[in-house]
Amino acid sequence: MEGVSEASIGDAAERIGLRTARRTAERVAPGVSALVASVRTLDHVADEVPAVRYPRTPGYQPGPDEDPLHAWYRKTSIPGTATGPLAGRRVAVKDTVCVAGVPLMNGASYLEGYVPEVDATIVTRLLDAGAELVGKTNCEYLCFSGESNTNATGPTHNPHRHGYSAGGSSSGSAAAVAAGEVEMAIGGDQGGSIRIPAAWCGVYGMKPSWGLVPYTGVFPVEQTLDHVGPITAKVLDNALMLEVIAGADGLDPRQGAAVEPDAYTEAVGQPVQGLRIGVLEEGFGLPCSDRRVEEKVRAALDVLRGEGAVVRPVSVPMHRLGGAIWAAIVLEGGLEMMMLGNAVGTNWKGLYLDGLARHQAGWRRNPDELPEPVQVSMIAGEILRTSFGGRYYHKAQNLARKLASAYEHALSEVDVLALPTVPFGPRPFPVEHGGAGGPEAAAGVAGGAAAGMDAPHLETDQTVNTAPFNCTGHPAMSVPCGTVDGLPAAVMLVGGMYRERTVYRLAAGIERAGRWQDW
Tell me the catalytic residues. 94, 169, 193
Query: Could you give the CA distance from residue 89 to residue 16 in angstroms, rounded to a whole number?
Result: 52
Return the closest-CA partner of residue 479 out of 503, 460, 448, 444.
503
Length of the chain: 519
377 neighbors 334 (Cβ within 8 angstroms): yes
Query: Could you give the CA distance from residue 141 to residue 138 in angstroms, rounded to a whole number?
Result: 9
- Specify the DSSP element, H or E, that contains 491: strand 487-495
Buried/exposed 167-202: b ≥16 CB within 10 Å, e otherwise: bbbbbbbbbbbbbebbbbbbbbbbbbbbbbbbbbbb
Burial of 12 (0-12, 13-18, 19+ CB in 10 A): middle
489 neighbors 480 (Cβ within 8 angstroms): yes
Residue 320 has a CB neighbour count (10 Å cut-off) of: 13
To the nearest 10 degrees (0 to 180), the angle between helices 500-511 and 291-306 is 100
Query: Could you give the CA distance from residue 317 to residue 495 in angstroms, rounded to a whole number?
Result: 18
Which amino acid, one-letter code, is at 4? V
Query: Could you give the CA distance from residue 28 to residue 42 in angstroms, rounded to a whole number?
Result: 23
Residue 6 has a CB neighbour count (10 Å cut-off) of: 16
Query: Could you give the CA distance from residue 359 to residue 112 in angstroms, rounded to a whole number?
Result: 9
The alpha carbon of residue 429 and the mean position of all alpha carbons in its chain are separated, in whole angstroms, by 21
Query: Could you give the CA distance from residue 495 to residue 418 in angstroms, rounded to a whole number?
Result: 9
Buried/exposed 449-479: b ≥16 CB within 10 Å, e otherwise: eebbbeebbebbbbbbbbbbbbbbbbbbbbb
